[in-house]
C-alpha cells in the first residue's frame, strides 16, 4: 500500500517537472492538465504511486535536437533547428507529425509529443507517441527551397525513424508535397521503401485515400457524437471555425454532409464571415488556398466571395451554435471564452492541439460549455495514418468509403471510451478528464507490464 496519497503524489510530480522544465510553458500546461485528471485513477490504483509511474510517464524516452543547414535561392547559407521527440513507445512505434513553423521550440515539441501519446492510445490502434519538426518558416519559400530543406532535414532524421521504430507524418507547414520530398530522400539514403516509413504520402506511392480529410472529418464525427449524446443534432447548426488549412476545410466538408454550416474562417490577419456557409465549390477553393500555405491569405476568400472580413479580430465574437478552433495553440484566450459563453455557444470541439489557454478552458467548462478535447476530437488524423500503415503492410489500398466508415467507427469508439472513463469515475460528461483517463489506461497497463522503464 502506498505511503503517499494520490493528490500529494501528483502535486509532487508537477512540482518536480516545474523545476526540471521551468522554461517549457506549453509542456507544463499539458502535464498539469493531464495529471490533474488522473487523481481518481491513482486512488483506484495505488500501485502506480509505488512504482512512480507518473514521473516515468512524463519523461520523453528520447529527444533529438539537430542542426538543419541549407542554401536558399539567393545562395545564402541558412540554419534551422530540427527536432524529434520520441515520447512514449510502450504500445507501438512512435507516431506523430512534423511541424514546420517559426514558433517551433523544445516546449512546443514536447507538449505535442505528450498529447500525441495519449491521443494515439485513445485511437485503440498500436501506435506510440512522438512529434517533430523545425523552426523553419515555409511562407514565401520556393519549391526548390522546400525540397532542399526537406532533404537536409531528412539527412539527420533518417537515423531515428523506420517502419517499426518511428513513423512521422505531417502537421502545420508539412503537407503532401513536403512528405513527398522527405520520403524521397529517406528512400535514397536507406535504399529501401521500408513499408512507406512516413504517412500522409501521395496516393501514387502508398498514401491512404481520405488522409487529407481525416482530421477534419473526425472532428465533425466527434461533434456529431457529442450532440447526439446530448439529444441534440447537427442539422441546421452554425459553426465558427478558425484557421483555413487542411483541418479547417475537412471540418467544412463533413459539416455540410452532416447538415451543419461553417460560417467563419480565419488567418493571423483576421476572420471572414460567410452567412451562407463555407460549402460546395467554396470548400474546393479553400483546399487550393490551403495548399498555398506559404502565400495563401484568408483575405482572398473574402475578395472572391464578397463576404465581410474583420481585420485583427477572431471568429469567437460571432454568435453560433458550435465553436471549432482549427488553427494553432492558445487561439481561445480568456476574453474569447467570455465571448463564447455570452453568445450562448454550447459546444467547443478542439480541432487544433491545445487551442484554449488553461484559463479559457476553465472558464468554458465552469460555465457549462461542453468541450470535446483535442486528443479525442482530432485523433481521426493519426488514426487514418495508422490505417495507412496497415494498408502499406498488406500492400493493398482501401476505398474512400472503407476508410471513411472505419474512421467514423473509430471516432465513435473514442467518444464512448472517453465518456465511459469519465462516468466510471463519477465525472459525468467531463470528456477532458475522460479522454486523459482512457488514453492513460492502456499506456499504464503496458508500462506496468514492461518493467521499470
Distance of alpha carbon 307 from its chain centroid, rounded?
Answer: 30
Cβ atoms of 427 and 39 closer than 8 Å: no
96 touches ligand 2IT (CB under 6 A): yes
Decide whether 154 or 318 has the Cβ nearer to ligand 2IT. Answer: 154
How many residues are listed for the chain in this entry? 453
Cell of 183: 520520403
Q: Is 95 in the site for ligand 2IT (CB under 6 A)?
A: yes
CA separation, residue 137 to residues 149, 359, 387 (Å): 11, 29, 30
Q: What is the DSSP letter of 171?
A: B
**Residue 382 within binding range of ligand 2IT, rule CB under 6 A:** yes
Q: Which residues pair with 265 in a beta bridge?
A: 272
97 forms part of the interface with ligand 2IT (CB under 6 A): yes
Instruction: Give kind and range of the element (H or E) at residue 290.
Output: helix 281-291
- Which of residues 167 and 371 has its CB atom nearest to ligand 2IT in the complex? 167
Whichever of 372 and 381 has its CB closer to ligand 2IT, that residue is 381
Q: For residue 203, what is its C-alpha cell? A: 496516393
Q: Look up residue 88 and give its three cell numbers.
A: 512514449
SS3 of residue 87 by DSSP: strand
Which residues are paired to 311 by β-bridges?
270
CB 272 within 8 A of CB 265: yes
The count of residues interacting with ligand 2IT (CB under 6 A) is 12
Instruction: Tell me whether residue 195 or residue 343 sits nearer to ligand 2IT (CB atom).
Output: 195
Q: Give the shortest CB-310-to-ligand 2IT separation in angstroms.
A: 28
Q: In sequence order, which residues have a C-beta less than 8 Å from that of residue 180 and are 6 or more positions away?
A: 201, 202, 205
Decide: is 169 part of the binding site for ligand 2IT (CB under 6 A): yes
Q: Which residue number, 148 or 211, has a Cβ lying nearer to ligand 2IT?
A: 211
3-state secondary structure of 432: helix
- Closest approach, Cβ 171 to ligand 2IT, in A, equals 4
Write the interaction track for ligand 2IT spanning residues 194-233; mark x where CB under 6 A is met and - where it is not.
-----x----------------------------------
User: Does residue number 117 form part of the binding site for ligand 2IT (CB under 6 A)?
Assistant: no
Longest Cα pair distance anywhere in the chain, in angstroms?
Answer: 67
Contact (CB, 8 A) for 155 and 189 = yes
131 is catalytic: yes
The answer to the question of residue 327 lying near ligand 2IT (CB under 6 A) is no
CA pair distance 295, 283, nearest whole angstrom: 18
By CB under 6 A, name the one of 353, 357, 391, 430 that touches ligand 2IT.
353
User: How many Å apart are CA 409 and CA 401, to the nearest integer?
Assistant: 12
Interface mask toward ligand 2IT for 386-425; x: CB under 6 A: ----------------------------------------
Q: How far is the CB of 246 from ligand 2IT (least distance, A)?
A: 10
Instruction: Check 95, 110, 119, 131 and give the catalytic one.
Output: 131
Residue nearest to ligand 2IT (CB): 97
Pick from 171, 194, 213, 224 the residue near ligand 2IT by CB under 6 A. Answer: 171
User: Does 385 sit near ligand 2IT (CB under 6 A)?
Assistant: yes
Binding site for ligand 2IT (CB under 6 A): 95-97, 116, 119, 169, 171, 199, 353, 381-382, 385
Residues with a known catalytic role: 131
Amino acid at each position: 500500500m502506498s505511503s503517499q496519497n494520490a493528490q500529494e503524489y501528483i502535486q509532487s510530480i508537477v512540482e518536480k517537472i516545474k523545476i526540471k522544465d521551468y522554461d517549457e510553458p506549453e509542456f507544463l500546461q499539458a502535464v498539469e492538465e493531464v495529471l490533474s485528471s488522473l487523481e481518481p485513477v491513482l486512488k483506484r490504483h495505488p500501485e502506480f504511486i509505488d512504482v512512480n509511474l507518473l514521473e516515468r510517464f512524463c519523461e520523453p524516452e528520447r529527444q533529438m535536437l539537430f542542426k538543419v543547414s541549407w542554401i536558399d535561392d539567393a545562395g545564402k547559407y541558412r540554419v534551422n533547428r530540427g527536432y524529434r521527440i520520441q515520447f512514449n513507445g510502450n504500445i507501438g512505434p512512435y507516431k506523430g507529425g512534423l511541424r514546420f513553423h517559426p514558433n517551433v521550440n523544445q516546449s512546443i515539441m514536447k507538449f505535442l509529443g505528450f498529447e500525441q501519446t495519449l491521443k494515439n492510445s485513445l485511437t485503440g490502434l498500436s501506435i506510440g507517441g512522438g512529434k517533430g519538426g523545425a523552426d523553419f518558416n515555409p511562407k514565401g519559400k520556393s519549391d526548390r527551397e522546400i525540397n532542399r530543406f526537406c532533404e537536409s532535414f531528412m539527412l539527420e532524421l533518417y537515423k531515428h525513424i523506420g517502419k517499426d521504430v518511428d513513423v512521422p507524418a505531417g502537421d502545420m507547414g508539412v503537407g503532401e508535397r513536403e512528405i513527398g520530398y522527405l520520403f524521397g530522400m529517406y528512400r535514397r539514403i536507406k535504399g529501401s521503401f521500408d513499408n512507406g516509413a512516413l504517412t500522409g504520402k501521395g496516393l501514387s506511392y502508398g498514401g491512404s485515400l481520405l488522409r487529407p480529410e481525416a482530421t477534419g472529418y473526425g472532428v465533425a464525427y466527434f461533434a456529431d457524437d457529442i450532440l447526439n449524446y446530448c439529444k441534440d443534432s447537427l442539422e441546421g447548426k452554425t459553426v465558427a471555425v478558425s484557421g483555413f488549412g487542411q483541418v479547417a476545410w475537412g471540418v467544412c466538408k463533413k459539416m455540410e454532409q452532416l447538415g451543419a454550416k461553417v460560417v467563419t474562417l480565419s488567418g493571423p490577419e483576421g476572420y471572414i464571415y460567410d452567412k451562407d456557409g463555407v460549402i460546395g465549390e467554396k470548400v474546393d477553393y479553400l483546399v487550393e488556398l490551403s495548399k498555398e500555405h506559404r502565400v495563401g491569405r484568408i483575405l482572398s476568400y473574402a475578395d472572391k466571395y464578397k463576404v465581410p472580413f474583420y481585420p485583427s479580430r477572431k471568429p469567437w465574437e460571432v454568435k453560433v451554435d458550435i465553436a471549432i478552433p482549427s488553427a494553432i495553440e492558445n487561439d481561445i484566450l480568456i476574453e474569447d471564452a467570455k465571448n463564447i459563453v455570452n453568445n450562448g455557444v454550447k459546444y467547443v470541439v478542439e480541432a487544433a492541439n491545445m487551442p484554449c489557454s488553461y484559463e479559457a478552458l476553465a472558464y468554458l467548462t465552469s460555465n457549462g460549455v461542453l468541450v470535446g478535447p483535442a486528443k479525442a476530437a482530432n485523433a481521426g488524423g493519426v488514426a487514418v495514418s495508422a490505417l495507412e500503415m496497415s494498408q502499406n503492410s498488406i500492400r493493398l489500398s482501401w476505398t474512400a468509403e472503407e476508410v471513411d466508415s472505419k474512421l467514423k467507427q473509430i471516432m465513435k469508439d473514442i467518444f464512448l471510451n472517453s465518456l465511459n472513463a469519465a462516468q466510471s469515475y463519477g465525472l459525468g460528461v467531463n470528456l477532458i478528464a475522460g479522454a486523459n483517463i482512457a488514453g492513460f489506461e492502456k499506456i499504464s497497463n503496458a508500462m506496468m507490464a514492461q518493467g521499470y522503464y
